Structure 1
């Protein structure tokens, strides 16, 4: 009696969740990933809140994905907050950020919150797959332009206004105009708590101790006109 011919072990597909508030982006990524034999799209979500809700449901069923490919700017819950939630509550799920924004502040926030990769949306499809596979192995994958920017910051750390995000510059200008945190929140359509956090970040980054000092810096840097 002949012994049965051994079969090659079946390769487990890399299961991915796609999170982006643009349906066309999700469809495009899904279309590319689904032609790969070793990658499976496990779920989609249009924002961070739905992503964490879906992950909780999948966790109960024992169906968590291996990786989440997520945008940063989304309604309800952005990618930075969602990344923090995912890595804290589902440590086995790796997060790869895919965004059109190259702001280093967001890069730092995403990586600090446990992201395993960071790609810009002009990345080639093979780079997206490479980032997902690297994350699954426990490695970190950075888009070349992001890696260069991080290296430049290590060599020449940014100072002054260059450390502020665009939103923080807006907040600084409003502080210089004498706006309270609630007035800043109303102007920028954000919560008062978020406005307060932005003000604190501005003071910390500029190494200032008061809103008055911040106002003087804003005037000096031309963010608001000088009073005559």
Structure 2
């Protein structure tokens, strides 16, 4: 890392609420990690050191197009997820990711991990399985009482995916997907998929198209 310069980070996900929430988590550490840009459904335009790819509602593992995220730049891509299954981590690394970080990390741990990746180290989770995001995490449906798993599945339903496509993307069994759908529907007060899609549209589950870019700093060059 260049002496005296924070690690420059871009955060990407299809949902503005998600990327803005992660940026807020890192804000107290801006002397070490500076969020230069957050993007939803738009390419990164500023020169950054690390692109933090939040997996909420996104393709994962070997489906992540690391080259398109970097788009010819030199940034390292880091996956940020609550899915810590060894196969998924390995697929992400084989796809070109430089690290794989758990959403169970606190802010200080996340900052240290981003610094380590920038310095050339590969950071991966020590455990496996699934973790719960930190309480301060932001995602669509949280205010309506949905768990993060339920919320992600409703996001994918709103995007038009079938149950099998949702299972493939979220690395869940089809029976687990159906269980999450039932519990989510009860909380949402809906019974049918068409009602769930309408509810999702009304409550911020459609992907956003937005970019927030911080003003240039002298040390960014």
After TM superposition, the score normalised by the length of structure 2 is 0.50
CA distance 1:135–1:69, change in 2 (3 Å): same
Shift in Å, 1:69 = 0.8
The 5 A counterparts of 1:155-166 are none
Distance across 2 between alignment mates of 1:112 and 1:100: 19
In the alignment, the residues of structure 2 paired with residue 131 and residue 111 of structure 1 have an alpha-carbon distance, to the nearest angstrom, of 15
Higher share of residues assigned helix: 1
Q: Distance in 1 between matches of 2:3 and 2:122?
A: 26
Note the C-alpha offset of 1:98. Answer: 0.6
1:66 to 49, 56, 62: 49
CA distance in 2, matches of 1:86, 1:129: 21
Give the SS at the match of 1:130.
Answer: helix
Q: Does structure 1 retain, via aligned residues, the 8 Å contact 2:60–2:88?
A: no
The CA distance in 2 between the partners of 1:108 and 1:82, in whole Å, is 15
| Contiguous gaps of at least 5 residues in structure 2 | 130-160, 169-221
1:15 is paired with a residue whose SS is strand
Give the secondary-structure state (helix, strand or coil) at the position aligned to 1:139. Answer: coil
Q: Which residue of 1 aligns with 2:10?
A: 17
Q: How many residues align?
A: 133
| Contact 2:60 2:92 survives alignment (8 Å) | no
CA radius of gyration, larger in: 1
* Aligned residue number for residue 129 of structure 1: 111
Q: CA separation of 1:102/1:30 partners in 2, compared to 1, >3 Å: closer, same or farther?
A: same
Match of 2:78 among 90, 96, 99: 96
Q: Could you list the per-position Cα deviations for residues 31-73 of structure 1 after superposition, in whole angstroms to 9, with x for gaps in the alignment?
A: 13222212211111234xx2xxx23xx2xxxx31100111235
* 107, 125, 132: which one aligns with 2:89: 107
| Residue number among 23, 26, 31 corresponding to 1:30 in the alignment | 23
Q: CA deviation at 1:83?
A: 2.2
Contact 2:80/2:102 (CA < 8 Å) preserved in 1? yes
Q: What is the alpha-carbon distance in structure 2 between the residues aligned to residue 84 and residue 117 of structure 1?
A: 15
Of 81-90 and 18-27, the range deviating more from structure 2: 81-90
**Root mean square deviation, CA, Å:** 3.2
